[in-house]
Amino acid sequence: MNREFIKAVEELEKEKEISKDLLIEAIESALVSAYKKNYGTSQNVRVSIDRETGDIGVFMRKEIVEKVGNEQLEISLEEAREIDPEYQVGDIIERPVTPRDFGRIAAQTAKQVVVQRIREAERGQIYEDFSNRQSEIVTGIVQRISNDTIFINMGKTEGILTSTEQVPGEKYTVNSRIKVYIMDVKKTTKGPQVYLSRSHPGLVKRLFELEVPEIQDGTVVIKSIAREAGSRTKIAVYTADENVDPVGACVGARGTRVQAIVDELFGEKIDIINWSDNPEKLISSALSPAKVEKVIINEDGKSATVIVPDYQLSLAIGKEGQNVRLAAKLCGWKIDIKSHSQYYPDGDDFEDDVTFIDNGEEVAENESFEAAESLEDAAYSGDEYAEGEYTEDEYPEDEYSEDEYSEDEYSEDEYSDEEYYEDESFDEVPEGDGDLPEEEDLYIDEEDMYLEEDEPASVKQKRSKKKKAKVEDED
């Protein structure tokens, strides 16, 4: 060891951010093992490296005892006092035993230790960096794709995007840039493993934090998010500042802010509503774009019965139950939706006094991210709801089947020619009119095709002459 070695260690400290003392201590520990292995000794030894010069020394260490039991580890008090009269029982005596050719062994050992320590330090640093960045988003480059698992280059390490954390329908290509959510960081024998996600609701939250300054500074708070990756996301926002519109802040001017997020999510629809501590208002807003007549709250079971107009039932439930499912996740309530006629089967209702719960202003309206299509009627049977709550029996297909409005009901026989031409039949000749007119008498003069008020002046003049000539002939 020499001064050049010390300089090399100092350079590693700057480049790899590894402590110089940590490296030297690791080398000293490794040299102890190398000494015992190469010189076949079981002595208790200590290796010391000078921090300034790089000089190395090996010292044998023995404990001073009255009666020696192991000569490799112990020394008698008499022998110790021959070296120094001030030694006492229990002291540790050290004597230099550095071999002449130990420099070569030390250099080889030091190289291996330094390389190993650098690798361990880098892994530890990567783990610390990404564990502190957990639940954040990073931009990475798709490095390779193997068995539906995508490996993303994030600079110092590779992240893993498993098939379960990918968004259905999204296509990834090598060397493409994507934003991913750091879901978890684990230590393994191969180093730290960073697990990423594109389907986690936290990705949407972080994207809004990047795009909306009001969320960054805490003026607007994201209270809840419900997401079905690749399809639709509902987000509830709140602000204590009366001068700030939380929904408008998230949407941005002409929808620019939310549109940037939609583009990043490859067209995923986003509904933004105002958060409310009133469960009735919150549930009503969460079911948008459907209109809600009434919300009946059951505090004990934390469930709610929502009454909607008959024509709004399909829209409230959503395609394959998506709308009500996301609304339930967003609010944290179990939601049972019934149509007006289902809740009031006897007609004893408040039809004339219906007041819709105002939720129309609380949902951001933007063609780029808001659904504008009519949703198909479908029953929800997810895990969050009791089995059979939204079953096919509740909303059967036969309720509005083709048989109800079948062709037989309004058939050709019901509205036949006889019904419309019963009084205008040509089978009988009207009395007093004689025979039917000849074919030539059925000819309609071109001039008779005009109404008197609309006919041209030339036609009127011609008609007048004909009438005058007819009168003269009769006379």
Which CATH number covers residue 232?
3.30.300.20
What is the spatial distance between Cα 178 and Cα 9, in angstroms, rounded to a whole number?
38
Q: Decide if 435 is inside a domain.
A: no
Please write the tens of the pLDDT for every residue from 12-55: 788 777 778 888 888 888 888 877 777 766 677 888 888 887 78
Question: Are 98 and 239 in the same domain?
Answer: no
Q: Decide if 411 is inside a domain.
A: no
Question: Are 185 and 225 in the same domain?
Answer: no
Question: Are 247 and 378 in the same domain?
Answer: yes
Q: How many domains is the chain built from?
A: 4
The residue type of 267 is: G
Please write the tens of the pLDDT for every residue from 284-295: 999 988 999 999
Q: Decide if 417 is inside a domain.
A: no
What is the spatial distance between Cα 157 and Cα 69, in angstroms, rounded to a whole number?
54
Question: Are 174 and 210 in the same domain?
Answer: no
What is the spatial distance between Cα 201 and Cα 226, in angstroms, rounded to a whole number?
7
Q: Decide if 112 is inside a domain.
A: yes
Please write the tens of the pLDDT for every residue from 389-434: 333 333 333 433 333 333 344 333 443 344 433 344 334 444 444 4
Question: Are 355 and 236 in the same domain?
Answer: yes
Higher pLDDT, 454 or 280: 280
Question: Are 319 and 192 in the same domain?
Answer: no
Higher pLDDT, 379 or 226: 226
pLDDT at residue 370 is higher than 50: no
Q: Which of 151, 168, 199 is the last residue of a domain?
A: 199
Q: Which of 74, 94, 128 is the last residue of a domain?
A: 128
**In which residue are the tokens 């990047």 written?**
210
Q: Decide if 122 is inside a domain.
A: yes
Q: Which of 199, 218, 242 is the last residue of a domain?
A: 199
pTM of the prediction?
0.59
pLDDT at residue 151 is higher than 50: yes
Question: Are 195 and 256 in the same domain?
Answer: no
What is the spatial distance between Cα 429 and Cα 434, in angstroms, rounded to a whole number?
8
pLDDT at residue 238, rounded to an integer: 95
Question: Are 378 and 237 in the same domain?
Answer: yes
Residue 186 CA: distances (Å) to CA of 126, 128, 217, 241: 11, 10, 31, 41
Domain of 81 in residue numbering reads as: 3-128
Structure tokens at 51: 């921090």
Q: Decide if 154 is inside a domain.
A: yes
Please write the tens of the pLDDT for every residue from 434-459: 444 444 444 444 444 444 444 555 55
pLDDT at residue 63, rounded to an integer: 83
Question: Are 296 and 379 in the same domain?
Answer: yes
For the domain that residue 93 is a member of, what is the CATH number? 3.30.1480.10
pLDDT at residue 207 is higher than 70: yes
Structure tokens at 412: 């050709």
Q: Which parts of 359-456 fold into alpha helices (H)? A: 417-420
Please write the tens of the pLDDT for every residue from 51-88: 887 788 888 888 888 888 777 778 888 888 887 788 88
Question: Are 46 and 91 in the same domain?
Answer: yes
Question: Are 333 and 461 in the same domain?
Answer: no
Question: Are 114 and 138 in the same domain?
Answer: no
